[in-house]
Amino acid sequence: MKVSSIRWGIIWIGIGLLFLAINFGVLDSLVFPALFSLWPVILIAIGVELIFRKTRLYFLTLLSPLLIAAAFIFAAVYAGGYSWSFSEFWKDWSWNYEGEKHFTEEISIESDVDTIKLEIDLGDSEMNFSPMPTRIFSVNTNYYKVSPIISHRKEGSVVYLKYRNRESRNRSIFKIKIRDIHNDIKIFDDAWLFAEIETESDYPELDFSEFRLMELTLLLKAKESKIRFGDNINDADIEINGRSERLILSLPRDFGLELLMDDSDFKRLEEIEGFYRFPDGLRSENFQDADRRASVVLDAIIRNIDIRRI
Protein backbone atom coordinates (compact mmCIF):
# COMPACT_ATOMS: atom_id res chain seq x y z
CA MET A 1 0.00 0.00 0.00
CA LYS A 2 1.27 3.45 -0.90
CA VAL A 3 2.15 5.84 1.88
CA SER A 4 0.12 8.58 0.16
CA SER A 5 -3.01 6.42 0.34
CA ILE A 6 -2.49 5.86 4.07
CA ARG A 7 -1.89 9.58 4.60
CA TRP A 8 -5.12 10.64 2.91
CA GLY A 9 -6.98 7.82 4.61
CA ILE A 10 -5.93 9.15 8.04
CA ILE A 11 -7.00 12.69 7.11
CA TRP A 12 -10.47 11.69 5.86
CA ILE A 13 -11.09 9.35 8.79
CA GLY A 14 -10.14 12.16 11.18
CA ILE A 15 -12.51 14.64 9.53
CA GLY A 16 -15.32 12.10 9.57
CA LEU A 17 -14.81 11.32 13.26
CA LEU A 18 -14.82 15.05 14.07
CA PHE A 19 -18.19 15.61 12.38
CA LEU A 20 -19.66 12.47 13.99
CA ALA A 21 -18.55 13.68 17.43
CA ILE A 22 -20.32 17.01 16.83
CA ASN A 23 -23.49 15.38 15.49
CA PHE A 24 -23.77 13.01 18.47
CA GLY A 25 -23.13 15.73 21.04
CA VAL A 26 -19.78 14.28 22.16
CA LEU A 27 -18.02 17.44 20.99
CA ASP A 28 -19.25 21.03 20.96
CA SER A 29 -19.35 22.61 17.49
CA LEU A 30 -17.66 25.67 19.03
CA VAL A 31 -14.42 23.71 18.74
CA PHE A 32 -13.96 25.21 15.26
CA PRO A 33 -12.67 28.61 16.51
CA ALA A 34 -10.02 26.75 18.48
CA LEU A 35 -9.04 24.76 15.39
CA PHE A 36 -8.63 27.94 13.36
CA SER A 37 -6.21 29.27 15.96
CA LEU A 38 -3.99 26.22 15.34
CA TRP A 39 -3.53 26.88 11.61
CA PRO A 40 0.32 27.06 11.91
CA VAL A 41 0.25 23.27 12.39
CA ILE A 42 -0.62 23.01 8.69
CA LEU A 43 2.66 24.81 7.83
CA ILE A 44 4.59 22.39 10.05
CA ALA A 45 2.88 19.41 8.39
CA ILE A 46 3.80 20.75 4.93
CA GLY A 47 7.40 21.16 6.09
CA VAL A 48 7.55 17.55 7.26
CA GLU A 49 6.13 16.47 3.91
CA LEU A 50 8.78 18.40 1.96
CA ILE A 51 11.66 17.10 4.08
CA PHE A 52 10.92 13.38 3.78
CA ARG A 53 9.03 13.16 0.49
CA LYS A 54 12.04 12.24 -1.71
CA THR A 55 14.19 10.37 0.81
CA ARG A 56 14.51 6.79 2.00
CA LEU A 57 12.52 7.84 5.03
CA TYR A 58 9.47 8.55 2.90
CA PHE A 59 7.26 6.69 5.35
CA LEU A 60 7.86 9.53 7.84
CA THR A 61 5.59 11.73 5.71
CA LEU A 62 2.84 10.00 7.70
CA LEU A 63 3.79 12.39 10.48
CA SER A 64 2.06 15.25 8.62
CA PRO A 65 -1.51 13.88 8.96
CA LEU A 66 -0.70 12.71 12.48
CA LEU A 67 0.32 16.27 13.42
CA ILE A 68 -2.97 17.58 12.06
CA ALA A 69 -4.86 14.89 13.98
CA ALA A 70 -2.99 15.86 17.15
CA ALA A 71 -4.02 19.49 16.61
CA PHE A 72 -7.67 18.38 16.36
CA ILE A 73 -7.39 16.46 19.61
CA PHE A 74 -5.64 19.35 21.36
CA ALA A 75 -8.37 21.76 20.28
CA ALA A 76 -11.09 19.38 21.45
CA VAL A 77 -9.61 18.57 24.85
CA TYR A 78 -7.71 21.66 25.95
CA ALA A 79 -8.14 24.80 23.85
CA GLY A 80 -10.87 27.20 24.89
CA GLY A 81 -12.13 24.93 27.66
CA TYR A 82 -13.82 22.53 25.24
CA SER A 83 -13.98 18.94 26.36
CA TRP A 84 -15.21 15.53 25.34
CA SER A 85 -18.65 15.00 26.82
CA PHE A 86 -19.59 11.33 26.73
CA SER A 87 -22.37 11.96 29.25
CA GLU A 88 -24.14 14.17 26.69
CA PHE A 89 -23.71 11.42 24.12
CA TRP A 90 -25.47 8.85 26.31
CA LYS A 91 -28.24 11.33 27.14
CA ASP A 92 -29.15 11.37 23.45
CA TRP A 93 -29.07 7.61 22.99
CA SER A 94 -30.11 6.07 26.32
CA TRP A 95 -33.61 5.48 27.72
CA ASN A 96 -33.10 7.93 30.61
CA TYR A 97 -32.56 10.96 28.35
CA GLU A 98 -34.25 13.92 30.04
CA GLY A 99 -35.61 15.34 26.79
CA GLU A 100 -37.32 18.72 26.55
CA LYS A 101 -37.00 21.16 29.46
CA HIS A 102 -38.69 24.48 30.17
CA PHE A 103 -37.27 27.81 31.26
CA THR A 104 -39.39 30.55 32.83
CA GLU A 105 -38.18 33.87 34.24
CA GLU A 106 -39.90 37.08 35.34
CA ILE A 107 -38.51 40.47 36.34
CA SER A 108 -40.74 42.50 38.61
CA ILE A 109 -41.68 46.06 37.80
CA GLU A 110 -40.52 49.07 39.79
CA SER A 111 -42.53 52.29 39.89
CA ASP A 112 -39.77 54.65 38.71
CA VAL A 113 -38.77 52.75 35.55
CA ASP A 114 -39.33 54.82 32.40
CA THR A 115 -36.78 53.31 29.96
CA ILE A 116 -35.85 49.76 28.97
CA LYS A 117 -32.68 49.01 27.02
CA LEU A 118 -33.04 45.49 25.71
CA GLU A 119 -30.61 43.10 23.99
CA ILE A 120 -31.98 39.81 22.67
CA ASP A 121 -30.08 37.05 20.85
CA LEU A 122 -32.41 34.25 19.74
CA GLY A 123 -30.15 32.21 17.48
CA ASP A 124 -32.36 30.18 15.13
CA SER A 125 -35.22 29.76 17.62
CA GLU A 126 -38.71 31.20 17.12
CA MET A 127 -40.18 34.10 19.10
CA ASN A 128 -43.48 35.63 20.15
CA PHE A 129 -43.08 39.26 21.24
CA SER A 130 -45.92 40.99 23.11
CA PRO A 131 -46.58 43.86 25.58
CA MET A 132 -47.22 43.40 29.30
CA PRO A 133 -48.32 45.98 31.91
CA THR A 134 -47.40 44.03 35.08
CA ARG A 135 -43.75 43.01 34.64
CA ILE A 136 -40.58 44.50 33.19
CA PHE A 137 -39.82 41.28 31.36
CA SER A 138 -40.96 37.68 31.25
CA VAL A 139 -39.92 34.73 29.11
CA ASN A 140 -41.16 31.20 28.74
CA THR A 141 -39.14 28.92 26.49
CA ASN A 142 -38.06 25.33 26.03
CA TYR A 143 -34.61 23.80 25.64
CA TYR A 144 -32.89 20.42 25.55
CA LYS A 145 -29.27 20.85 26.59
CA VAL A 146 -28.28 24.48 27.05
CA SER A 147 -30.49 26.75 29.14
CA PRO A 148 -31.04 30.43 28.19
CA ILE A 149 -29.10 33.25 29.85
CA ILE A 150 -30.81 36.33 31.24
CA SER A 151 -29.31 39.26 33.13
CA HIS A 152 -30.49 42.72 34.13
CA ARG A 153 -29.52 45.74 36.14
CA LYS A 154 -31.17 49.04 37.03
CA GLU A 155 -29.49 52.44 36.91
CA GLY A 156 -31.79 55.24 37.99
CA SER A 157 -34.97 54.92 35.97
CA VAL A 158 -33.33 52.79 33.25
CA VAL A 159 -33.37 48.97 33.14
CA TYR A 160 -30.66 47.24 31.11
CA LEU A 161 -31.72 43.73 30.13
CA LYS A 162 -30.02 40.97 28.13
CA TYR A 163 -31.55 37.69 27.03
CA ARG A 164 -29.86 34.97 25.00
CA ASN A 165 -31.23 31.61 23.91
CA ARG A 166 -28.21 29.38 23.34
CA GLU A 167 -30.16 26.32 22.25
CA SER A 168 -30.15 25.34 18.60
CA ARG A 169 -33.03 23.77 16.71
CA ASN A 170 -30.53 21.62 14.82
CA ARG A 171 -29.09 18.53 16.44
CA SER A 172 -26.81 17.99 13.47
CA ILE A 173 -24.43 20.27 11.62
CA PHE A 174 -26.20 18.98 8.48
CA LYS A 175 -29.60 20.04 9.93
CA ILE A 176 -31.02 16.53 9.72
CA LYS A 177 -33.00 16.66 12.97
CA ILE A 178 -35.00 19.76 13.91
CA ARG A 179 -36.20 20.76 17.36
CA ASP A 180 -38.97 23.26 17.98
CA ILE A 181 -37.58 26.05 20.18
CA HIS A 182 -40.01 28.89 20.94
CA ASN A 183 -39.52 32.00 23.07
CA ASP A 184 -42.66 33.62 24.50
CA ILE A 185 -41.33 37.06 25.47
CA LYS A 186 -43.29 39.87 27.11
CA ILE A 187 -42.01 43.40 27.73
CA PHE A 188 -43.33 46.24 29.88
CA ASP A 189 -45.19 48.53 27.46
CA ASP A 190 -45.32 51.75 29.51
CA ALA A 191 -41.63 52.66 29.14
CA TRP A 192 -39.47 53.97 26.32
CA LEU A 193 -37.99 50.96 24.52
CA PHE A 194 -34.48 50.75 23.05
CA ALA A 195 -34.05 47.29 21.54
CA GLU A 196 -31.32 45.28 19.80
CA ILE A 197 -32.63 41.97 18.48
CA GLU A 198 -30.67 39.27 16.66
CA THR A 199 -32.47 36.31 15.10
CA GLU A 200 -31.67 33.59 12.58
CA SER A 201 -35.26 32.36 12.39
CA ASP A 202 -36.45 31.75 8.83
CA TYR A 203 -39.78 33.52 9.39
CA PRO A 204 -39.55 36.00 12.28
CA GLU A 205 -42.63 38.06 13.20
CA LEU A 206 -41.93 41.12 15.36
CA ASP A 207 -44.84 43.29 16.48
CA PHE A 208 -43.85 46.64 18.02
CA SER A 209 -47.22 48.31 17.48
CA GLU A 210 -48.01 48.56 21.23
CA PHE A 211 -44.57 49.74 22.37
CA ARG A 212 -43.18 53.22 22.93
CA LEU A 213 -40.34 52.50 20.56
CA MET A 214 -37.41 54.94 20.50
CA GLU A 215 -34.63 52.90 18.92
CA LEU A 216 -34.53 49.53 17.19
CA THR A 217 -31.65 47.58 15.66
CA LEU A 218 -32.46 44.27 14.00
CA LEU A 219 -29.98 41.67 12.73
CA LEU A 220 -31.83 39.20 10.51
CA LYS A 221 -30.92 35.99 8.72
CA ALA A 222 -34.31 35.10 7.34
CA LYS A 223 -36.36 34.04 4.35
CA GLU A 224 -39.34 36.23 5.19
CA SER A 225 -39.48 38.85 7.97
CA LYS A 226 -42.65 40.53 9.23
CA ILE A 227 -42.19 43.72 11.27
CA ARG A 228 -45.10 45.78 12.51
CA PHE A 229 -44.93 49.33 13.88
CA GLY A 230 -47.57 51.43 15.60
CA ASP A 231 -48.27 55.07 16.34
CA ASN A 232 -45.30 55.35 18.74
CA ILE A 233 -42.53 55.07 16.16
CA ASN A 234 -42.56 58.78 15.29
CA ASP A 235 -38.90 59.98 15.32
CA ALA A 236 -37.65 56.52 16.31
CA ASP A 237 -34.25 55.34 15.03
CA ILE A 238 -34.79 52.06 13.15
CA GLU A 239 -32.03 50.05 11.50
CA ILE A 240 -32.32 46.65 9.82
CA ASN A 241 -29.16 44.64 9.10
CA GLY A 242 -28.32 41.19 7.75
CA ARG A 243 -30.40 39.57 5.04
CA SER A 244 -33.98 38.59 4.30
CA GLU A 245 -35.39 37.37 1.01
CA ARG A 246 -38.60 39.24 1.74
CA LEU A 247 -39.29 42.04 4.21
CA ILE A 248 -42.88 42.92 5.15
CA LEU A 249 -43.24 46.27 6.94
CA SER A 250 -46.61 47.20 8.43
CA LEU A 251 -47.23 50.72 9.77
CA PRO A 252 -50.10 53.22 10.23
CA ARG A 253 -51.76 54.45 7.06
CA ASP A 254 -51.05 58.16 7.69
CA PHE A 255 -47.31 57.71 8.31
CA GLY A 256 -44.78 58.90 5.77
CA LEU A 257 -42.02 56.35 5.29
CA GLU A 258 -38.50 56.61 3.92
CA LEU A 259 -36.13 53.71 3.35
CA LEU A 260 -32.49 54.75 3.50
CA MET A 261 -30.09 52.48 1.63
CA ASP A 262 -27.02 52.28 -0.60
CA ASP A 263 -27.35 52.29 -4.38
CA SER A 264 -26.20 48.67 -4.55
CA ASP A 265 -29.03 47.63 -2.20
CA PHE A 266 -31.58 49.66 -4.18
CA LYS A 267 -30.69 47.93 -7.43
CA ARG A 268 -31.52 44.52 -5.95
CA LEU A 269 -35.05 45.58 -5.02
CA GLU A 270 -38.17 45.22 -7.09
CA GLU A 271 -40.23 48.36 -7.64
CA ILE A 272 -42.39 49.34 -4.65
CA GLU A 273 -45.78 50.82 -5.46
CA GLY A 274 -46.43 54.24 -3.93
CA PHE A 275 -42.71 55.09 -3.48
CA TYR A 276 -40.32 57.27 -5.43
CA ARG A 277 -36.52 57.42 -5.59
CA PHE A 278 -34.56 60.17 -3.85
CA PRO A 279 -30.77 60.45 -3.38
CA ASP A 280 -30.61 58.39 -0.17
CA GLY A 281 -33.15 55.71 -0.98
CA LEU A 282 -36.95 55.53 -1.32
CA ARG A 283 -39.78 57.66 0.04
CA SER A 284 -43.51 57.16 0.15
CA GLU A 285 -45.57 59.58 -1.92
CA ASN A 286 -47.15 61.05 1.23
CA PHE A 287 -43.82 61.59 3.02
CA GLN A 288 -43.56 65.36 2.53
CA ASP A 289 -47.15 66.07 3.63
CA ALA A 290 -47.40 63.54 6.47
CA ASP A 291 -47.64 64.82 10.04
CA ARG A 292 -45.87 61.71 11.30
CA ARG A 293 -42.91 60.08 9.64
CA ALA A 294 -40.72 57.05 10.03
CA SER A 295 -37.22 56.44 8.67
CA VAL A 296 -35.79 52.96 8.33
CA VAL A 297 -32.09 52.45 7.60
CA LEU A 298 -31.61 49.30 5.52
CA ASP A 299 -28.10 47.88 5.68
CA ALA A 300 -29.28 44.47 4.59
CA ILE A 301 -29.51 42.19 1.57
CA ILE A 302 -33.24 42.27 0.75
CA ARG A 303 -34.76 41.26 -2.57
CA ASN A 304 -38.37 42.20 -2.02
CA ILE A 305 -40.08 44.74 0.28
CA ASP A 306 -43.82 44.68 0.92
CA ILE A 307 -45.23 47.84 2.59
CA ARG A 308 -48.59 47.33 4.28
CA ARG A 309 -50.75 50.07 5.80
CA ILE A 310 -52.76 49.29 8.93
Same-domain pairing of 88 and 106: no
CA pseudo-torsion sign 219, 265, 252, 202: negative
Alpha-carbon gap, residue 260 to 301, rounded angstroms:
13
Determine contact, residues 203/222, Cβ cutoff 8 Å. yes
**In sequence order, what DSSP letters do the residues of 35-86 get, joined into one string?**
HHTTTHHHHHHHHHHHHHTTSTTGGGGGHHHHHHHHHHHHHHHTGGG----H
Specify which residues 243 forms β-bridges with: 221, 301
Same-domain pairing of 65 and 171: no
Which range has the worst mean pLDDT, 11-20, 90-99, 143-152? 90-99
Number of folded domains in the chain?
2
- Residue 285 belongs to what domain range? 101-309
Same-domain pairing of 68 and 175: no
Picking from 41, 65, 93, the residue at the C-terminal end of a domain is 93
Q: Is residue 214 very low, low, confident or very high in pLDDT (cuts 50, 70, 90)?
A: very high
| Tens digit of each residue's pLDDT (9 = 90 or more) over 170-198 | 554 444 456 788 999 999 999 999 999 99
Same-domain pairing of 71 and 110: no
Position 65 scores a pLDDT of 73
Same-domain pairing of 120 and 256: yes
| Tens digit of each residue's pLDDT (9 = 90 or more) over 51-80 | 777 777 766 666 777 777 777 666 665 544
Q: Work out the percent of the chain whose per-residue pLDDT is above 90.
A: 33
Which range has the worst mean pLDDT, 68-77, 86-95, 96-105? 86-95
Same-domain pairing of 137 and 167: yes
Position 110 scores a pLDDT of 77
Same-domain pairing of 129 and 276: yes
Q: Taking the complete model, does pTM exceed 0.85, yes or no?
A: no
Same-domain pairing of 303 and 157: yes
Picking from 62, 93, 124, the residue at the C-terminal end of a domain is 93
Position 231 scores a pLDDT of 87
| Run of H or E including 87 | helix 86-93
